[in-house]
């Protein structure tokens, strides 16, 4: 694995850790929905959201973000951690 790939995966790992820390105490969609500061922080850490935020911020569906957080982020976290553990 290249140094660039390791750096990218480390950045993903760091972003997931930050998202986890932002969500402490927020255990359901209603709490997330009523906390725009947390929404903003999470959205800025999600990989690939930068262009979406810059160009069409008003079109972000927070229910989709919440689904990503709950349904996809845990698996991504495990996979990235495992890859980095094997390569480092």
Taking only the tens place, the pLDDT of each residue in 7-39 is 999 999 999 999 999 999 999 999 999 999 999
Write the DSSP string, the chain.
--HHHHHHHHHHHHHHHHHHHHTTT--SHHHHHT-HHHHHHHHHHSTT-HHHHHHHGGG--HHHHHHHHHHTHHHHHHHHHHHHHHH-
Residue corresponding to tokens 């390569």: 87
What is the tens place of the pLDDT at every residue in 56-88? Answer: 666 788 999 999 999 999 999 999 999 999 976
């Amino acid at each position: 694995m290249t140094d660039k790939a390791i750096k990218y995966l480390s950045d993903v790992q760091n972003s997931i850790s930050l998202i986890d820390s932002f969500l402490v105490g927020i255990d359901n969609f209603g709490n997330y929905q009523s906390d725009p500061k947390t929404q903003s922080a999470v959205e800025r850490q999600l990989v690939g959201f930068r262009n979406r935020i810059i160009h069409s911020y008003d079109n972000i569906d927070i229910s989709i973000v919440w689904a990503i957080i709950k349904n996809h982020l845990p698996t991504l976290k495990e996979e990235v951690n495992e890859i980095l553990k094997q390569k480092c």
